[in-house]
Amino acid sequence: MSQELRAVDWTGTGLTLIDQTRLPHRTETVDVRDVDTLVDAIQRLVVRGAPAIGAAGAYGVALALIQGEREGWSEARVREAVARIREARPTAVNLMVCVDRVMTRFTEGLDAVLEEAAAVQREDVDANRAMGGYGADWLLKKAGEDRPLRILTHCNTGALATAGWGTALGVIRELHARGRLEVVYADETRPLLQGSRLTAWELVQEGIPHYVQADAAAAGTVLRGEVDAAIVGADRIAANGDTANKVGTVGVALACAYAGIPFLVAAPTTTVDLSTPTGDGIHIELRGEDEVLEWAGVRTAPAESRGHNPAFDVTPGRLVTGLVTERGVLEVSAGELPGDRLR
Ligand code: MRU
């Protein structure tokens, strides 16, 4: 995918989102002109990935102002609509951080709000580019001196999940651009298949060799010595380095720790939540039971079964070898806690 293709785009009058529920077989966009449609798009994962929903939320403030003007809302009603956007999903702190940042310009009016939202979007792309360089440098120094790297990743952290380029997938793209990547193992990511539908699609656009594997295959692939490092994104990182990311991530981290290979988290500093001391304080989104009881809309589990569907899990900070941000790489498990270094 070219860097110019944007998951979240402001058209001048509204938002255009790439519909990530339709990929890879259909590339469709959704035009968002009102707050209800935006909240629904965030909750159904039409737009998803922590930085991408942060950018969508930032422009959502502008949408609320425009809709309020069109429909004669009071200021209180506009603010209430912004609060609904802010709370559309609970785990990724980027959504709240980006909405709050844009709201600091709220009383200045629409132009100021749009200027701030555009800055959120631009800075995310810049952060991703910087992370790509830092992460690739670190990985090549620690694990890639003698041959191209084999990298495992979980969920989708590419251009689709961000304002552009990608976090963990941005590091992978950078390794590929430097000719230092052998292959990517992309976990399919249950239950919504962000890995096999979205990461694989992005890797195909980039011509990056890869395997899609079941999440349940990841630990075995690591323990058999078939990968050199794992790199994932994050939805919220507590001050002690505990990291919430797509469900299944902690299993990858445990396998990497056992095998003694690096487990990296790549995320912009907007994903670090210093007001949350440890992972225990991170609200993990519980999604609808049908997502695990059905397959492609067809019930697969017995009618009597209940579903347990946490969208994320928390990897203890001590299992995180390094945190890649736009400021560089912190070696978390070696004692460089994000809370100490990012204040
Ligand atoms: O439920 P999703 O698809 O929004 O979950 C996304 C993830 O867990 C990503 O790894 C995370 O948001 C980082 S995206 C750069």
List the domain boundaries for the chain: 8-123, 127-341
How many CB atoms are located within 10 Å of the residue 274 CB? 14
Has residue 296 got a pLDDT over 60? yes
CA distance linking residue 60 with residue 72, whole number of Å: 17
Pocket probe for ligand 1: among 89, 157, 172, 196, the residue whose CB has the most ligand atoms within 8 Å is 157
For residue 22, which phi and psi values (nearest 5 degrees)?
-95, -25
Has residue 5 got a pLDDT over 90? no
Ligand 1, CB within 6 Å, residue ranges: 45, 48-51, 92, 155, 157, 161-162, 167, 194, 233-235, 245-246, 311
- Over pLDDT 70: what percentage of the chain? 99
- pLDDT tier at 185 (50, 70, 90 boundaries)? very high
- Over pLDDT 90: what percentage of the chain? 93
* Mean pLDDT value across residues 188-198: 97
pLDDT at 342: 82
Has residue 2 got a pLDDT over 70? no
Please give the number of the atom of ligand 1 that sits closest to the Cα of 166.
15
Cα 155 to middle of ligand 1, angstroms: 6
Candidates 124, 187, 228, 235; catalytic one: 235
8-123: CATH topology is Four Helix Bundle (Hemerythrin (Met), subunit A) (1.20.120)
Q: Which residues contact 177 (CB under 8 A, 6 or more apart)?
A: none
- pLDDT tier at 144 (50, 70, 90 boundaries)? confident
pLDDT at 256: 98
Q: What is the pLDDT of the chain when averaged over all its residues?
A: 96
* Mean pLDDT value across residues 68-88: 98
Q: Which residues contact 286 (CB under 8 A, 6 or more apart)?
A: 309, 310, 311
pLDDT at 337: 86
What pLDDT, in 10s, does the model give residues 241-271?
A: 999 999 999 999 999 999 999 999 999 999 9
pLDDT at 4: 62
Could you tell me if 187 and 219 are in contact, meaning their C-beta atoms sit under 8 angstroms apart? no
Chain centroid to Cα 82, Å, comes to: 21
* Mean pLDDT value across residues 139-160: 93
Cα 340 to middle of ligand 1, angstroms: 25
Has residue 291 got a pLDDT over 90? yes
The residue whose C-alpha atom lies closest to atom 8 belonging to ligand 1 is 246
**For residues 312, 153, 204 and 295, what is the CA-based torsion angle, rounded to 10 degrees?**
-40
If you count them, how many residues does the chain have? 343
**Which range, of 97-101, 283-287, 331-335, averages the lowest pLDDT?**
331-335
pLDDT at 343: 77
- pLDDT tier at 340 (50, 70, 90 boundaries)? confident
Q: What is the pTM of this model?
A: 0.97
pLDDT at 1: 44
CATH superfamily of 127-341: Translation initiation factor eif-2b; domain 2 (3.40.50.10470)
* Mean pLDDT value across residues 83-89: 98
Hey, do 8-123 and 127-341 end up sharing a CATH topology, with the first three levels equal? no
Look-up: residue for tokens 């991703």? 128
Has residue 76 got a pLDDT over 90? yes
Pocket probe for ligand 1: among 44, 246, 326, the residue whose CB has the most ligand atoms within 8 Å is 246
Helix, coil or strand: residue 31: strand
- pLDDT tier at 188 (50, 70, 90 boundaries)? very high
Has residue 50 got a pLDDT over 90? yes
Could you tell me if 222 and 196 are in contact, meaning their C-beta atoms sit under 8 angstroms apart? no
- pLDDT tier at 3 (50, 70, 90 boundaries)? very low
Q: Which residues contact 71 (CB under 8 A, 6 or more apart)?
A: none
Has residue 6 got a pLDDT over 60? yes
What pLDDT, in 10s, does the model give residues 16-37?
A: 999 999 999 999 999 999 999 9
CB burial readout 156-174, b (16+ within 10 A) else e: bbbbbbbbbbbbbbbbbbb
Has residue 128 got a pLDDT over 90? yes
The answer to whether 235 is a known catalytic residue is yes
